[in-house]
Amino acid sequence: MFTDETLETVGTESLWRKSRQFEHDSRGCQTTPIEKVETEAQVVCCSENGTQTDPDDHHMHSLFASHEHRPDSPGLRDFLHRVEDIVIRELTKNAKSHAFDGFEVNWEERNQTVSCVHRLQHSEAQERGLQVTSLTWSSTGSVIACAFGRVDDGDWSTEKSFVCTWNLDRRGLDENRPDVSIDVSAAVMCLAFHPSRPSLIAGGLYSGEVMVWDTSRTQDPVLAQTGMLAHTHRDPVYQVCWVPWGRRGELAVLSAGTEGRVLLWNVGADGKLGLSAGYALVKQQVPHSGTLSKARGSGCVGITSLALSPWDPDMFLVGSEGGLVLKCSFSTQTVAAAEIATTSEGESVTLLAPAQFCFSPRCGPVHSLHCSPFHRNLFLSVGTDGLAHLHSLLQPDPLLSLRVSDSYVFGVRWSPTRPLLFAAATGQGSVQIFDLGRRSLRPAAVIDQNIKGRPVYCLEFNPRQTHLLAAGNADGTINIWHLSAELTEQGSREGAQLEQLANELAE
């Protein structure tokens, strides 16, 4: 029923293989080649012109002819032959001379006038009759700070006073209104700007307090203060200054008072000035001198002025109420007789006796001292005798004494630019400027303060703008003076002249 049968092969083409082949086909594309073209362009342009005039032989011949026929001046030839040897001899002598070595010709016209550029005042201080007791310039030289108090008040004063600052570079400067005015509970006797932070000012009060103000703090400018404690000054503080102290190079406040103490304060973060070291000047420990018999005793030497040496960080000078000028040392190990200061924490700081050398005493208080910035051994002192004394650290007697005023002299400052020049503030209302390079001992300039003969209590040269000199007056005004080039520009041999003067006077 069933039989085998062979049929032809039947095949079916695969669709999925064909689709896979389509998927693997490769394609490609390419942009047309970028054409590059390089071109150069250069222009050479040269031009040379020249002109020259030809001599006019006709005029030259006529000129020479006129000279040939001109007769010689009578006696001129004989005179020239007669003085020829003398002129040659003098020219040879001048060529060998060193009188004008280093001289520089200045063809510019020198202005020898001194003009007042600012007259600053605080109306409230003037209404109360307060006087300008101290001046200080900021490290930038643009801000001046002044202290108001009373120098002629011989009793304890609790009257309110002020510390004021003016920025002289401010466009809207008001000379009758300070930029910053700080109310102080007692008369301020001295001020000192921080040498690198223009907003910090240290001050000493008539009450014996030492304070540091920060003028950048508008609400409460008091940064630190000592307060009325047992270890502070008991009498008015007449000098404050900033000194480096410690290994970190930090600055501390040094203060000196009329009770005979020199105290060193660190500014603490708690708003207090901490006592770091102290010195006491006791009469029985003052170095011996044949002229000190009246100064001997068991009391203290009242300090009225203090000066730091820019050459020796260990040395400082003090002037006293009794006319003594003492050379002192910070590194002394001698303990002051029966003098111990107690700090607020209960610890004690032993006061040391710093006096190392005593200069010849003066008549009356020494109001101001200043060390020369150009000679390590020279300093100036002024006081009630009306003289400015030039001293050397190497001998007791002054090298030179100049009559400054018939009244007291309250301040003296060396010029920051001229080694031979210094200024002094007088009790007759003028500022005297002396030039030690002149043969005459008369002042090189006299600045009339126009304050009706009232005293000038303080003066300061601007350390940056050295042509400015500030003077604080008894009528409560501050005059800023512009000094001429004659008083500010140093001569080429002025430093050598100061050295020569010091050596000649010492001999």
Highest mean pLDDT among 207-221, 223-237, 260-274, 456-470: 456-470
Let me know if residue 109 belongs to a domain: no
Which tokens go with 4? 């085998």
Minimal CA–CA distance to 201: which of 184, 233, 223, 219?
A: 223
- What number of helices (H) and strands (E) belong to the chain? 5, 30
pLDDT of 423 above 90: yes
Let me know if residue 79 belongs to a domain: no
- Edge-to-edge strand list for the sheet holding 421-426: 409-414, 421-426, 430-435, 445-448
Let me know if residue 445 belongs to a domain: yes
- Residue 283 sits in a domain whose CATH number is 2.130.10.10
Cα–Cα distance measured from residue 393 to residue 332, given in angstroms and rounded to the nearest whole number? 18
Cα–Cα distance measured from residue 56 to residue 63, given in angstroms and rounded to the nearest whole number? 11
Minimal CA–CA distance to 233: which of 212, 205, 213, 253?
A: 205
- pLDDT-derived band at 306 (thresholds 50, 70, 90) equals very high
Number of domains observed in the structure of the chain: 1
Residues with Cβ within 8 Å of 319's Cβ and at least 6 positions away in sequence, in order, are: 303, 304, 305, 306, 325, 326, 365, 366, 367, 368, 369, 381, 383
Let me know if residue 275 belongs to a domain: yes
Residue 394 sits in which domain range? 115-506
Let me know if residue 191 belongs to a domain: yes
| Tens of pLDDT, residues 128-162 | 889 999 999 999 999 999 999 888 765 555 678 99
Q: Return the pLDDT at 60.
A: 53
Let me know if residue 36 belongs to a domain: no
Q: Return the pLDDT at 109.
A: 47
Let me know if residue 198 belongs to a domain: yes
Minimal CA–CA distance to 168: which of 480, 505, 390?
A: 480
- pLDDT-derived band at 290 (thresholds 50, 70, 90) equals very low
pLDDT of 29 above 90: no
Let me know if residue 82 belongs to a domain: no
DSSP structure string for 155-166: S-----EEEEEE
List residues bridging with 434 in a β-sheet: 422
Residues with Cβ within 8 Å of 141's Cβ and at least 6 positions away in sequence, in order, are: 462, 463, 464, 465, 468
